[in-house]
């Protein structure tokens, strides 16, 4: 608990000390106390937990609106943009857009090609490389964490090295996230207006948007194929594995060394007794 003295308003002379309790204490007490307030708190907390488990997020909309976004508004936007530019979410957004085009045909592989074109153009506009080029150029067994700047767990896994976003620097990632967010916001407006649009019209609109922002525009499909990038990344990962111990391997070696020291100590003691 901490006490803060509130300063008087203009024209007032009295001051008042207000007690502020630690949030962890409030939550702990709220789950234990047997009172109407405790019951209401548990109901509210359960609603929030249910929403988080089902949706993956929970949010106080009114608080964010009334506080003008509050201190965490920028963080919230950055996290949403980062989610939108993740490969699976990006692919879903591309499919949603492609489904509104006049020449949409779910039986063809055109959606995969459309996704590749859009993804390549957005990445190139953000940092001057296609996803395949980023992976091919930056996957390096001699670099810390194989050149990755983001990955799950304590060390990079095989799934991490195949994602271009995981090699981007912070500024490159922010630019990419903002470009993705801006493009799909615009594409959603076109879809809402029910204009007769062909798939390549969306690509042309993307070029127009990128040119208007002064970003570099990709011509063609890039200098490195997806297969070349994957082969290079996997080869570097194999080399990285040879020279890098996992936490489990480190713990195992430490236990072996410890057992070896104990055995030597017992051996010396046995020799001294004889």
Query: What residue spans of the chain are helical by DSSP H?
Result: 23-32, 36-55, 61-66, 73-84, 87-98, 110-127, 131-138, 170-192, 199-212, 226-243, 247-273
Element (H, E) at 19: strand 16-20
Contacts of 30 by beta carbon, 8 Å cutoff, 6+ apart: 38, 41, 42, 45
Element (H, E) at 2: strand 2-6
As a whole number of angstroms, the distance between CA 147 and CA 36 comes to 55
Q: Which tokens belong to 150?
A: 């983001």
Cα-flanking dihedrals φ and ψ of residue 20, to 5°? -115, 120
Q: Per-residue pLDDT for the chain (274 aa), expressed as one digit of tens each?
A: 555 555 555 555 556 666 666 777 777 777 788 888 888 888 888 999 999 999 998 988 888 888 776 678 888 888 888 888 888 888 888 888 888 888 888 777 887 888 899 999 999 999 999 999 999 999 999 999 999 999 988 889 999 999 999 999 999 999 999 999 999 898 888 888 888 888 888 899 999 999 998 999 999 889 999 999 999 999 999 999 888 876 665 676 677 677 666 666 655 555 555 5
Cα-flanking dihedrals φ and ψ of residue 147, to 5°? 90, 0
- In this structure, is the dihedral angle defined by the CA atoms of residues 47, 50, 55 and 58, taken in order, positive or negative? positive
As a whole number of angstroms, the distance between CA 119 and CA 200 comes to 14
> What secondary structure does DSSP assign to 78-98, as a single string?
HHHHHHHTSHHHHHHHHHHHH
Contacts of 93 by beta carbon, 8 Å cutoff, 6+ apart: 84, 184
DSSP state at residue 191? H
At 69 the pLDDT is: 65
Q: Give yes or no for a contact between 201 and 186, defined as CB atoms under 8 angstroms apart.
A: no
Q: Give yes or no for a contact between 148 and 160, defined as CB atoms under 8 angstroms apart.
A: yes
From the number of C-beta atoms within 10 Å of its C-beta (0-12, 13-18, 19+), residue 42 rates as: middle
Element (H, E) at 20: strand 16-20
DSSP state at residue 57? -
At 251 the pLDDT is: 72
Our CA dihedral for 167, 170, 173, 174, rounded to 10 degrees, sits at: 180
């Amino acid at each position: 608990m901490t006490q803060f003295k509130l300063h008087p308003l203009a024209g007032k002379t009295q001051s008042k000390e207000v007690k502020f309790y630690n949030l962890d204490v409030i939550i702990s007490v709220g789950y234990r106390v047997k009172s109407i307030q405790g019951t209401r708190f548990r109901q509210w907390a359960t609603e929030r937990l249910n929403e988080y488990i089902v949706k993956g997020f929970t949010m106080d909309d009114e608080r964010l609106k009334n506080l003008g976004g509050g201190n965490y508004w920028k963080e919230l936007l950055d996290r949403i943009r980062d989610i939108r530019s993740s490969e699976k979410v990006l692919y879903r957004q591309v499919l949603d857009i492609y489904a509104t085009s006049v020449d949409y045909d779910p039986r063809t592989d055109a959606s995969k090609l459309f996704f590749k074109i859009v993804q390549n153009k957005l990445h190139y506009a953000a940092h001057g490389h296609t996803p395949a080029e980023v992976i091919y150029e930056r996957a390096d067994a001699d670099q810390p964490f194989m050149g990755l700047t983001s990955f799950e767990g304590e060390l990079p896994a095989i799934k991490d090295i195949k994602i271009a976003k995981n090699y981007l620097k912070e500024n490159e990632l922010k630019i990419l996230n903002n470009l993705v967010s801006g493009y799909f916001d615009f594409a959603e407006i076109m879809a809402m207006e029910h204009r007769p649009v062909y798939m390549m019209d969306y690509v042309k609109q993307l070029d127009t948007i990128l040119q208007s922002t002064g970003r570099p525009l990709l011509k063609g499909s890039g200098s490195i194929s997806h297969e070349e990038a994957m082969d290079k990344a996997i080869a570097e990962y194999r080399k990285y594995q040879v020279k890098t111990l996992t936490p489990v391997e480190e713990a195992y070696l430490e236990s072996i060394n410890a057992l070896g020291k104990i055995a030597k100590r017992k051996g010396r003691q046995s020799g001294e007794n004889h």
